[in-house]
Amino acid sequence: MTPTKTRAAIAGVYEHPTRFAPDKSEWLLMAEACRGAIQDAGLRPEQIDAFFTSATAPEGGWLGACASVMAADYLNIHPRFIDETDVGGASFGYYVNRAVMGIEAGLFKCALIAYGATTKSLGVNVGTVRYDDLTGQRISPMPDAFEQVYGTTVTSFMGLLTQRYMHDYGLTSEQLAHVAVTMREHAALNPDAAHRKPLTVEDVLSSPVIASPLHKFDCCIISDGAAALLVVHRDLLPECAKPPVWLAGFGESIMHHEGGLGDWAAESREMVRRACRQAFDMAGVGPADIDTAMIYDAFTVNVVIDLEGAGFCGVGDGGAFVADGQLKLDGGSLPTNPDGGGLSSNHPGRRGIFLFVEATRQLRGEADGRQVPGAETAMCTATGAAFLARRGSAAHILTR
Amino acid sequence: MLTADPTYWPQPEVSGETRPFWEACGRGEFLLQRCDGCGKFQYPYRGFCCHCWAGQPRDVPSTGRGTVWSYSVVRRNRSRDTAPSRTSSWSSSWRRASGSSPT
Ligand SMILES: [Zn+2]
C-alpha cells in the first residue's frame, strides 16, 4: 500500500564524514552539519524557525543544560520554537515527531534538528563506566542509589536484558553475531564507515566479553560525528533543491520499572510495538510495505527486539530472522542499516539522527554503492535510554 | 590514570525519603514495601505508593529468598576508581559481577 503523508517532509540532510576530529569541537562539527543540511535543502539559515538538539554531556561532549538555547547562540539562529527532549539516543526521533506536530499545528515551517559529539576524541568510555563516574556526580538517592552501587555500566544493563531475552525466547549469541557481521558487510560498502574490515561470526563470538553475554562486537563502536536534518512544511518544498522525503507516520512510547513489578524483557519489545503500531496506523501501511529499515543498533540485541516489536517477524523469531540473512543488502527481505549502523559506521554517543540521514539517502536514490534498489518506503526505529529499564522508543515511516 | 583504591565501593547518597531503607540495610535487612491501600509491592523504596497514589507503603523486610531474574558478569569496567568486587570472585580491578533483580 502507499502511505498517507503528513504536511511535513525531510528537505535536507547531512552526515559529517568525520569519525575522529580531535582538532574540532562538537559545536563546530554540529555547525558544519547544519551548513551541509541547509545547502542540501537549498534553503537559507534565516528561514529556520524551529530548532532541536540534544545535550551531549556527559557522554559525548560539553553541551549540557539548556542545550538548544546554547547551541542556537553558537549557530546564531533565531528559532521561535525549541526543544531538547531527552530520551538518550532516541531523542532525535522524538525531535522529528515534535517537528511534524509543530508543522501540522502551524507553529513553524522550517525545523532544524542537529547533533554533534566528540566522544572518541574526548576518550569517553560511554558503555563501560559507572554512571557517577561518567557524570562526575555523586550517586543520587533516587533511583541511582539502588542500582549504581553494584558497579553497573550501560553494557551491563543491556547484558541483563540480553541474558533474560535468551532465557525467555531462545535467542543465542551466534544469532546475535549475525547482526554484527551483516552491519560490517554493509559498512564495507560505505567509504565513510569507521570499521570496514570483514568480520565473521567466529570473530564476534571469540571477541572479549564486555558484560555477559555481550561480546565486544555486540556493542556499537565509539566515534566522533555530527548530522543535521531539515524538516519542512510542504509549502516550502517548491523552494527546495531536492525531492522531499515525506514523514508518513510516527510513534513513540516509553517503558520503565512498573514499581519493580514489570517484565523488562517483554516490555522492551512491547514498547517498540506500541511506537511502531502508532507509526504504521498513521501511515496506513504495515511491515510488508517497508523496503528498507534503519534500526538503532546500539547493541546487536536491539535489532532483534525491534524486528519483533515492529512485526517484521514473530515474537521469538528475531534470532532466526537475522541469522537467515534477512537484514542483508544482498538478498535479504528487509535490508537494514545499509550504511553499517552504529556497530560499524559511527556512534558518537547518541545515534538516532543518523537513521534519518541514511533513510533519506536511500529514498532519494543517493546511496551510492549500497542503494536498496527502488526503495520507496523506509522505517526508522530507535530505542534510547535513561538507565536500566527506563527507556523510550521512536518509530517512523518515511516515503518518497 | 588513577590508582584503584581497594577499599572503595561507590556509596549512595541518602535522602530523608530513602533513609529507612539504608538504615535497614545496616541491620542486615533488605526492605520491600507493600501498600496498605492497594496491597501491591514496590521497589525501589519511595515515600508514596506508585501504584495507587493513595495508600501508605509499609516496610516489609524480604525473606532473603528470591529468584535470580537475570545476571551479567561485567568484564570491562573502566570507572576510574573501580575496586575489586565484593560480590564476585573476580580479582582483577576491572572485573565485577552485577545485577540480580530483587524480586
Ligand atoms: Zn497503593
- pLDDT tens digits, A340-369: 999 999 999 999 999 999 999 999 999 999
User: How far is the centre of ligand 1, averaged over its atoms, from the C-alpha of A260 (Å)?
Assistant: 13
Q: Cα distance from A309 to chain B (closest Cα, Å)?
A: 21
Which residues from chain A sit within 8 angstroms of residue B43, using beta carbons?
Answer: 146, 259-260
Which residues from chain B sit within 8 angstroms of residue A145, using beta carbons?
Answer: 12-14, 18, 44
Domain A8-124+218-399 class in CATH = alpha beta
The pLDDT, as a whole number, for residue B83 is 46
Laid out side by side, the sheet with B31-35 consists of B41-42, B31-35, B57-61
The pLDDT, as a whole number, for residue A108 is 98
| A339 has a chain B CB within 8 A of its CB | no
| A153 has a chain B CB within 8 A of its CB | yes
Using alpha carbons only, give the angle A388, A20, A51 rounded to the nearest 5 degrees: 65
The pLDDT, as a whole number, for residue A135 is 80
| Contact yes or no for B99 and A156 at CB 8 A | yes
Which residues are in the CB-under-5-Å shell of ion ligand 1?
Answer: B 35, 37-38, 49, 51-52, 55
Q: Is residue A163 within a helix (H) or strand (E), and if so which, with residue range?
A: helix A154-169
The pLDDT, as a whole number, for residue B1 is 37
ipTM of the complex model: 0.90
CB proximity under 8 Å: B 41-70 to A: 41-46, 50-51, 69-70
Per residue in B43-88, pLDDT (tens digit) is 999 999 999 999 999 999 999 899 999 999 999 988 866 543 333 3
- % of chain A at pLDDT higher than 70: 100
Of A113, A118, A109, A129, nearest in space to A33 by CA: A113
Chain mean pLDDT for chain A: 96
Per residue in A128-148, pLDDT (tens digit) is 988 788 888 888 999 989 988
Compare CB distances from B96 to A151, A161, A210 and report the shortest one's residue. Answer: A151
Which of B1, B73, B77 would you mutate first to test chain A, the one with the most A CBs within 10 A?
B77
- Chain A and chain B share a number of CB contacts under 8 A equal to 129
A391 vs A274: CA distance, rounded Å? 13
Which residues from chain B sit within 8 angstroms of residue A219, using beta carbons?
Answer: none
Every domain of chain B and the residues it spans? 19-88
Q: Cα distance from A156 to chain B (closest Cα, Å)?
A: 6
A205 or B90, greater pLDDT: A205
Residue of B nearest to A260 (CA): B43
Which residues from chain B sit within 8 angstroms of residue A208, using beta carbons?
Answer: 75-76
Quick check: pTM over 0.90? yes
A60 or B86, greater pLDDT: A60
Q: Cα distance from B74 to chain A (closest Cα, Å)?
A: 4
| A209 has a chain B CB within 8 A of its CB | yes
At A186, is the secondary structure helix, strand, or coil? helix
| Torsion sign, CA atoms A305, A311, A313, A316 | positive
| Contact yes or no for A212 and B42 at CB 8 A | no
A162 vs A190: CA distance, rounded Å? 29
The DSSP code for B11 is P
Average of per-residue pLDDT across A288-294: 98
Which residues from chain B sit within 8 angstroms of residue A210, using beta carbons?
Answer: 74-76
A123: left (phi over 0), alpha (psi -120 to 50) or beta: left
Compare CB distances from A152 to B44, B99, B103 and report the shortest one's residue. Answer: B99
Q: Cα distance from A24 to chain B (closest Cα, Å)?
A: 25
Of the given ranges (A117-131, A263-277, B25-39), which has the lowest mean pLDDT? A117-131
| A93 has a chain B CB within 8 A of its CB | no
User: How far is the centre of ligand 1, averaged over its atoms, from the C-alpha of B37 (Å)?
Assistant: 5
In sequence order, which residues have a C-beta less than 8 Å from that of residue A370 and are 6 or more positions away? A186, A189, A190, A329, A338, A339
**Whole-Å CA distances, B79 to A136, A303, B72, B76:** 11, 28, 17, 9
Residue B35 pairs with which residues in a beta bridge? B57
Q: How confident is the model at residue B9 (pLDDT cuts 50, 70, 90)?
A: confident
